[in-house]
Amino acid sequence: MLNVLIARHGQSEWNQLGRWQGRADPELSEFGLRQAAAAAMHCGAFDAIVSSNLLRASHTALVISEATGVGPVLIDDAFSERDVGAYQGLTRAEIDEQYPQQLEAGILPEGWENDQLVLGRVQRGLETLRHQCRNGSVLVIAHGGVIYAIERHFGLGYQRISNLEGRWLHHKGTSWNLGERVALTQNNSSESQELML
């Protein structure tokens, strides 16, 4: 069986500011670096570590890799964050000001990458993993939008995910099965912790 834990990166500088990130590439905040170090102490044993190409994910993965001795980190842009289009770089207040009532109405902005597109590339990434690592456990450091798309694919409703929380996927036989959500660190309670994409 192949077990894959897809986890959200540590807090980024834009998470701290409450800015929607999408494909923007801010670094980890100081708190995010501490989260990554704490996650390395609690994440358990993995045979490989894979990361999105974005800095907030790859830096989180590197901290965990260096602390656990599992590496090198493999970079795969299949696990990159969803493109959030015109919302990128904006705070919730700025979105409400520039696009009144769109968030409440569920109206997505121009350039938004829908779940089908996200799942298409994530499935390609998972198939690559399956061919490279037929058995064992792999940690993938990715993004909230990736995890939400996977969960909706399996019929789950939206539930906010904190930095360095993740969702297990298990492959046995011919299909992927959804496992439980887990926290890689107990230290997810920053006063500035925002959960923007």
Supply the residues annotated as catalytic. Answer: 9, 81
Beta carbons of 117 and 29 less than 8 angstroms apart: no
H helices of 6-88, in order, are 13-17, 30-42, 55-68
Q: Among residues 117, 121, 115, 114, which one has the least CA distance to residue 140?
A: 121
Q: Among residues 147, 185, 149, which one has the least CA distance to residue 5?
A: 147
Residue 165 CA: distances (Å) to CA of 51, 116, 159, 190: 15, 23, 12, 14
Pairing of β 2-8 and β 48-51 = unpaired
Report the distance separating Cα 193 and Cα 54, nearest Å.
19
Q: Among residues 59, 49, 53, 64, which one has the least CA distance to residue 24?
A: 53
